[in-house]
Chain A
Amino acid sequence: MSDRKLPRLLQTPAVLLLLVWMLIPLGMTLYFSFIRYVLNNLRRPEWTSPSPSNWRGFGNYEFVLKSKDFFLAIQNSLFIVCSILFLTVILGILIAVLINKTFPGQGIVRVLLISPFFVMPAVNAVLWINMILDPVLGLQGIAIAGINDVLDGLRQIPILGAFFSLWPEFEPISFRATQTSAIAVIMMVTWQWTPFAVLIFMTSLQSEDQQQKEAAVLDGANTWSQFRFLTLPHLGRPIAIVVMIQAIFHLSLYAEIEIVSRGNGNKNLPYLIGEFANNNIGAASATGIFAVILANIVAIFLLRMVGKTLME
């Protein structure tokens, strides 16, 4: 065997495994998306197993496009991902700039800050929705009940009480409700992923050109313009990478949505697919193909943006 052939062959197992992993299930999804395939149907038992004779053409796609949930799910997927990206990048930059200089206990603060990133998503969601955000038993409920008690006490004071009785009672927010469950998901994922952004931005800040900064100070540049014209451009590449990696993870967010509200008012595409897949496999597969198309659009856009910097 020649000098370079064997070494090159060593990548084939990995390539083949990933190819099989990608093509076979995806091929099946494509096939299922064109047939009638429902798991429970007493009147049409022939539909309960996949067969080419149940061909439906683009019927499943039409069905999905007509369902109201589909566009809500796409809208919601994008809303959740964009909100998380926006919050984590802004918070990440601010915190990284803040803790980049030495101060007493810097190492401990770093450890405290990074911890949420390692918490498993299922625990993250159960912890937040129950122990922190629950309107009665969680810290939110307890805090609001406490504030209302204090206000009640103030209302009893002779003259001042008249002023406080104008104040309304505070109402705790239920984060399992239709309008708020997306907010809860955004909050808990931001908590988990801001540390990731901080860690990467901080690493990047440490390689910032200090001489350039000193020169800028001598030229009379204030803190803001130093940040705006030196630090921010320096962070361009890490920001792109943080955005790309988070987009990969958050487009397929599932556990948090399931745990917070079982999708109530807050379905994203993966969740919608899961719901269809309880019975209507054809529709689930068609939705899956739409999700693949959406992911590809995002992927092409992101890889264009980041790909070059990865390869140098």
Chain B
Amino acid sequence: MAIVAQSSKFSTYGRPVLAWGIGLLFFFPIFWMVVTSFKTDADAVKPEHLIFFSPTLDNYLNMTDNYDYWRFARNSIITAVSATIFTLFVGVPAAYAMAFNPSRATKDVLMWMLSTKMLPAAAVLYPMIFLAKGIGLYDTHILIITVLSLINLPIAIWMLFTYFKEIPKDIIEAGKMDGVNTWGEIKEILIPLAWGGIASTALLVFIFCWNEAYWTVRLTTIDAATLSKLIEGNRAPEGLFFGRLSAVSTAAVGPIVILGWFCQKQLVQGLTFGAVK
């Protein structure tokens, strides 16, 4: 029984210490970014102020002057929220159709949708710029909302489909008996029943839209530029602005990280299409 005794010793001391160590290690870069955001730009690069420094809120108070933060944040909010709504608006009926009225082609359609995610964005970048400029939509909210919706639609439909599949068909059928039409089915039966699934799909789509850094950077210049574009534009500050750059980064990721904490369980189900439970 020596092994058992040993393993229980590991469980009481070794496991917590190791687990906490790894957890703190993974969190450290974020922690460091937050700490740096309270240093002045000069203090941020001085080794003697690595740990001891006088904290200041200046970096946050000057975000508008330094980076015009709120203009980019406003664009991020407008595009991510609208794209999430539009994705659900198209995705919920589609997933409803596939979950409750499947045809022989449904599986293939779902697989095909997933495969559109594998189309490399770079391959169609120039045609997109060409088209967008041609119809005068380059650097507009409408363009970014459309693109964000389309790149997230496959994952949203998959997620919704896996949630809807769990709802017993009988409940929907019962609605039919009562003479409820299709819209009524969706609005009065499906949406209330699958509210949790729809909400976590929305949350995940929102996070992906917020963090998107390919199309939002390449299809905008000023008017519709999002936070990703702002950060990428300051990629190499050569150490002069670590403080203010940390503040603007913290402001850009903080809300999303906290949002993520609350939806980690749904994230697993969503991202694995219900295949891991």
Q: Do A and B bind each other?
A: yes
Residues of A within 8 A of B (CB): 3-4, 6-11, 13-15, 17-18, 21-22, 24-26, 28-29, 32, 95, 98-99, 101, 103-106, 108-123, 125-132, 134, 136-137, 139, 142, 145-146, 191, 194-196, 199-200, 203-204, 207, 222-223, 237-238, 241, 245, 248, 251-252, 254-255, 258-259, 269-271, 273-274, 277, 281, 284-285, 288-289, 291-292, 294-296, 298-299, 303, 307, 309-311
Query: Would you call A14 and B153 a contact (CB within 8 A)?
Result: yes
Instruction: Give 12 A-B pairs besides A284-B125, A285-B123 with Cβ atoms closer than 8 angstroms.
Output: A3-B176, A6-B182, A8-B97, A10-B96, A105-B20, A116-B30, A120-B211, A123-B252, A245-B272, A270-B120, A292-B120, A295-B120
Query: Would you call B29 and A132 a contact (CB within 8 A)?
Result: yes
Query: Would you call B36 and A10 a contact (CB within 8 A)?
Result: no
Using known A-B contacts A113-B27, A123-B249, determine if residue A103 contacts B16 with beta carbons closer than 8 Å: yes
Instruction: Give chain B interface residues in 130-174, CB to chain A under 8 Å.
Output: 130-131, 150, 153-154, 157
Q: Mark B72-103, 1 if CB is under 8 A from A, else 0.
A: 00000000000000000011011011101101
Q: Could you name 20 residue pairs across A and B whose Cβ atoms are closer than 8 Å?
A: A6-B182, A8-B97, A10-B182, A11-B109, A28-B131, A103-B19, A106-B19, A110-B23, A112-B26, A116-B30, A127-B32, A127-B249, A130-B245, A132-B32, A200-B268, A223-B7, A259-B235, A269-B122, A270-B214, A303-B114
Is B259 among interface residues, defined by CB-CB distance under 8 A?
Answer: yes
Query: Would you call B103 and A26 a contact (CB within 8 A)?
Result: no
Is B127 among interface residues, defined by CB-CB distance under 8 A?
Answer: yes
Using known A-B contacts A122-B231, A237-B276, determine if residue A18 contacts B154 with beta carbons closer than 8 Å: yes
Q: Which of A6, A139, A237, A252 sits near B121, CB closer than 8 Å? A: A252
Bound CA–CA A48/B36 (angstroms) = 48
Query: Would you call A101 and B15 a contact (CB within 8 A)?
Result: yes
Is B194 among interface residues, defined by CB-CB distance under 8 A?
Answer: no
Instruction: Give chain B interface residues in 201-237, CB to chain A under 8 Å.
Output: 207, 210-211, 213-214, 217-218, 227-228, 231-232, 234-237
User: Smallest Cβ distance from B222 to chain A, in angstroms?
Assistant: 17
Q: Which 6 A-B pairs have the closest CB atoms?
A: A288-B123, A270-B122, A25-B124, A118-B260, A28-B127, A14-B94
Bound CA–CA A113/B18 (angstroms) = 13
Chain A residues near B124: list those with CB within 8 A: 25-26, 28-29, 288
Chain A residues near B47: list those with CB within 8 A: 142, 145-146
Query: Would you call A24 and B227 a contact (CB within 8 A)?
Result: no
Chain B residues near A248: list those with CB within 8 A: 117-118
Q: Which of B94, B127, B154, B214 sits near A32, CB closer than 8 Å? A: B127
Instruction: Give chain B interface residues in 49-91, CB to chain A under 8 Å.
Output: 50, 90-91
Instruction: Give chain B interface residues in 6-51, CB to chain A under 8 Å.
Output: 7, 11, 15-16, 18-20, 22-24, 26-27, 29-30, 32-33, 36, 45, 47, 50
Closest to B230 in A: A122
Using known A-B contacts A17-B150, A146-B47, A248-B117, determine if residue A289 contacts B33 with beta carbons closer than 8 Å: no
Bound CA–CA A71/B269 (angstroms) = 38
Closest to B120 in A: A291
Residue in B3, B207, B268 whose Cβ sees the most chain A Cβ within 10 Å: B268
Query: Would you call B126 and A137 a contact (CB within 8 A)?
Result: no
Interface SS of chain B: helix
Query: Would you call B118 and A28 a contact (CB within 8 A)?
Result: no
Query: Would you call B228 and A207 a contact (CB within 8 A)?
Result: no
Query: Would you call A14 and B90 a contact (CB within 8 A)?
Result: yes
Q: Which of B91, B120, B153 sits near A252, CB closer than 8 Å? A: B120
Using known A-B contacts A118-B253, A120-B252, determine if residue A29 contacts B3 with beta carbons closer than 8 Å: no
Bound CA–CA A237/B273 (angstroms) = 12
Using known A-B contacts A255-B228, A281-B126, determine if residue A310 contacts B45 with beta carbons closer than 8 Å: no
Using known A-B contacts A103-B11, A109-B19, A112-B23, determine if residue A139 contacts B32 with beta carbons closer than 8 Å: yes
Query: Would you call A121 and B26 a contact (CB within 8 A)?
Result: no
Query: Would you call B235 and A258 a contact (CB within 8 A)?
Result: yes
Is B107 among interface residues, defined by CB-CB distance under 8 A?
Answer: yes
Query: Would you call A110 and B126 a contact (CB within 8 A)?
Result: no
Q: Which of B23, B111, B252 sits near A307, CB closer than 8 Å? A: B111
Closest to A255 in B: B213
Closest to B20 in A: A109
Chain B residues near A284: list those with CB within 8 A: 125-126
User: Smallest Cβ distance from A84 to chain B, in angstroms?
Assistant: 16
Instruction: Give chain B interface residues in 221-277, CB to chain A under 8 Å.
Output: 227-228, 231-232, 234-237, 239, 242, 245-246, 249, 252-253, 256-257, 259-261, 264-265, 267-268, 271-273, 275-277
Using known A-B contacts A110-B264, A196-B271, determine if residue A119 contacts B257 with beta carbons closer than 8 Å: yes
Bound CA–CA A223/B257 (angstroms) = 36
Bound CA–CA A288/B129 (angstroms) = 15
Closest to A201 in B: B276
Bound CA–CA A127/B239 (angstroms) = 11
Query: Would you call B253 and A119 a contact (CB within 8 A)?
Result: yes
Using known A-B contacts A112-B23, A295-B119, determine if residue A119 contacts B30 with beta carbons closer than 8 Å: yes
Query: Would you call B128 and A118 a contact (CB within 8 A)?
Result: no
Closest to B24 in A: A112
Chain B residues near A10: list those with CB within 8 A: 93-94, 96-97, 182
Chain A residues near B32: list those with CB within 8 A: 127, 131-132, 139
Bound CA–CA A237/B154 (angstroms) = 21
Chain B residues near A115: list those with CB within 8 A: 26-27, 30, 257, 260-261
